[in-house]
Protein backbone atom coordinates (compact mmCIF):
# COMPACT_ATOMS: atom_id res chain seq x y z
CA UNK A 1 0.00 0.00 0.00
CA UNK A 2 1.48 3.34 -0.98
CA UNK A 3 1.36 6.57 0.97
CA UNK A 4 -1.58 7.92 -1.03
CA UNK A 5 -3.65 4.77 -0.30
CA UNK A 6 -2.74 4.95 3.38
CA UNK A 7 -3.81 8.57 3.55
CA UNK A 8 -7.12 7.81 1.86
CA UNK A 9 -7.74 4.86 4.12
CA UNK A 10 -7.02 7.04 7.15
CA UNK A 11 -9.42 9.66 5.88
CA UNK A 12 -12.20 7.18 5.24
CA UNK A 13 -11.66 5.64 8.70
CA UNK A 14 -11.99 9.09 10.23
CA UNK A 15 -15.07 9.75 8.13
CA UNK A 16 -16.64 6.46 9.20
CA UNK A 17 -15.94 7.26 12.84
CA UNK A 18 -17.40 10.74 12.49
CA UNK A 19 -20.50 9.37 10.74
CA UNK A 20 -20.96 6.86 13.57
CA UNK A 21 -20.57 9.66 16.14
CA UNK A 22 -23.16 11.75 14.30
CA UNK A 23 -25.59 8.81 14.23
CA UNK A 24 -25.17 8.33 17.98
CA UNK A 25 -25.44 12.08 18.63
CA UNK A 26 -28.71 12.39 16.66
CA UNK A 27 -30.27 9.33 18.30
CA UNK A 28 -29.25 10.39 21.82
CA UNK A 29 -30.39 13.97 21.19
CA UNK A 30 -33.89 12.77 20.33
CA UNK A 31 -33.96 10.33 23.25
CA UNK A 32 -33.17 13.20 25.63
CA UNK A 33 -35.59 15.52 23.84
CA UNK A 34 -38.52 13.15 24.30
CA UNK A 35 -37.47 12.54 27.91
CA UNK A 36 -37.82 16.31 28.52
CA UNK A 37 -34.12 16.76 29.24
CA UNK A 38 -33.33 19.40 26.62
CA UNK A 39 -33.93 22.95 27.82
CA UNK A 40 -35.76 25.57 25.80
CA UNK A 41 -33.42 27.72 23.68
CA UNK A 42 -31.87 30.32 25.97
CA UNK A 43 -29.26 30.38 28.73
CA UNK A 44 -28.08 26.78 28.24
CA UNK A 45 -27.60 27.32 24.54
CA UNK A 46 -24.57 27.69 22.33
CA UNK A 47 -24.48 31.33 21.28
CA UNK A 48 -23.24 30.45 17.82
CA UNK A 49 -26.34 28.29 17.26
CA UNK A 50 -28.73 30.55 19.14
CA UNK A 51 -27.88 33.87 17.53
CA UNK A 52 -29.39 33.78 14.05
CA UNK A 53 -30.36 36.90 12.13
CA UNK A 54 -33.57 37.07 10.06
CA UNK A 55 -31.33 36.70 7.03
CA UNK A 56 -30.17 33.33 8.35
CA UNK A 57 -26.69 34.63 9.15
CA UNK A 58 -24.88 33.69 12.34
CA UNK A 59 -23.07 36.82 13.58
CA UNK A 60 -20.96 34.72 15.97
CA UNK A 61 -20.24 32.06 13.39
CA UNK A 62 -21.83 28.64 13.08
CA UNK A 63 -18.89 26.27 12.75
CA UNK A 64 -19.50 24.92 16.23
CA UNK A 65 -21.47 21.79 15.34
CA UNK A 66 -18.51 19.40 15.20
CA UNK A 67 -17.54 20.54 18.70
CA UNK A 68 -21.07 19.84 19.98
CA UNK A 69 -20.92 16.31 18.55
CA UNK A 70 -17.50 15.65 20.09
CA UNK A 71 -18.59 17.03 23.48
CA UNK A 72 -22.06 15.39 23.36
CA UNK A 73 -23.51 18.82 24.03
CA UNK A 74 -27.18 18.68 23.05
CA UNK A 75 -27.62 22.34 22.16
CA UNK A 76 -31.31 23.37 22.14
CA UNK A 77 -31.01 25.72 19.16
CA UNK A 78 -29.11 23.15 17.11
CA UNK A 79 -32.33 21.15 16.77
CA UNK A 80 -34.24 24.19 15.51
CA UNK A 81 -31.45 24.96 13.04
CA UNK A 82 -31.55 21.36 11.77
CA UNK A 83 -35.34 21.19 11.40
CA UNK A 84 -35.39 24.47 9.49
CA UNK A 85 -32.43 23.65 7.27
CA UNK A 86 -33.58 20.14 6.41
CA UNK A 87 -37.25 20.96 5.84
CA UNK A 88 -38.55 18.50 8.44
CA UNK A 89 -42.26 17.65 8.63
CA UNK A 90 -44.77 19.79 10.49
CA UNK A 91 -45.25 16.89 12.92
CA UNK A 92 -41.51 16.87 13.68
CA UNK A 93 -41.45 20.65 14.23
CA UNK A 94 -44.50 20.41 16.49
CA UNK A 95 -42.96 17.62 18.58
CA UNK A 96 -39.68 19.54 18.86
CA UNK A 97 -41.45 22.75 19.92
CA UNK A 98 -43.49 20.83 22.49
CA UNK A 99 -40.58 18.99 24.02
CA UNK A 100 -38.36 22.10 24.01
CA UNK A 101 -41.24 23.87 25.77
CA UNK A 102 -41.27 26.76 23.29
CA UNK A 103 -43.68 29.46 24.37
CA UNK A 104 -47.02 29.33 22.60
CA UNK A 105 -46.35 26.11 20.74
CA UNK A 106 -46.89 23.63 23.52
CA UNK A 107 -50.63 23.77 24.01
CA UNK A 108 -51.39 20.48 22.34
CA UNK A 109 -49.53 17.29 22.95
CA UNK A 110 -47.95 16.17 19.68
CA UNK A 111 -48.03 12.74 18.17
CA UNK A 112 -44.89 11.09 19.46
CA UNK A 113 -44.80 7.91 17.47
CA UNK A 114 -41.76 6.32 15.92
CA UNK A 115 -42.19 8.09 12.59
CA UNK A 116 -41.92 11.53 14.19
CA UNK A 117 -38.85 10.54 16.19
CA UNK A 118 -37.28 9.11 13.06
CA UNK A 119 -38.01 12.28 11.13
CA UNK A 120 -36.26 14.38 13.79
CA UNK A 121 -33.29 12.01 13.95
CA UNK A 122 -32.92 12.11 10.16
CA UNK A 123 -33.04 15.93 10.07
CA UNK A 124 -30.43 16.18 12.85
CA UNK A 125 -28.22 13.58 11.19
CA UNK A 126 -28.39 15.24 7.76
CA UNK A 127 -27.74 18.68 9.23
CA UNK A 128 -24.76 17.51 11.29
CA UNK A 129 -23.24 15.64 8.34
CA UNK A 130 -23.44 18.77 6.16
CA UNK A 131 -22.08 21.01 8.93
CA UNK A 132 -19.13 18.62 9.28
CA UNK A 133 -18.47 18.74 5.56
CA UNK A 134 -19.72 15.21 4.82
CA UNK A 135 -22.17 14.07 2.18
CA UNK A 136 -25.63 13.61 3.70
Report the interface residues with Zn ion, using CB under 5 A: 46, 48-49, 64
In order, the DSSP letters of 4-48 are HHHHHHHHHHHHHHHHHHHHHHHHHHHHHHHTT-SPPSSTTS-HH
Nearest by Cα to 29 from 133, 127, 136, 134: 127
- As measured in angstroms, the least distance from the Cβ of 55 to Zn ion is 18
Q: Which is nearer to Zn ion, 26 or 116 (CB)?
A: 26
Q: Which is nearer to Zn ion, 65 or 116 (CB)?
A: 65
- As measured in angstroms, the least distance from the Cβ of 115 to Zn ion is 28
- As measured in angstroms, the least distance from the Cβ of 39 to Zn ion is 14
Q: Distance between CA 119 and CA 9 in Å, rounded? A: 32
Q: Which is nearer to Zn ion, 76 or 110 (CB)?
A: 76
Amino acid sequence: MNEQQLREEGRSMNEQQLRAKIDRFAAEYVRQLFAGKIDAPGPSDCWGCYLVADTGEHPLGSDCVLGHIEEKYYVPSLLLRALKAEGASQAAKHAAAYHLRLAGLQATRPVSNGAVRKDIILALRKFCLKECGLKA
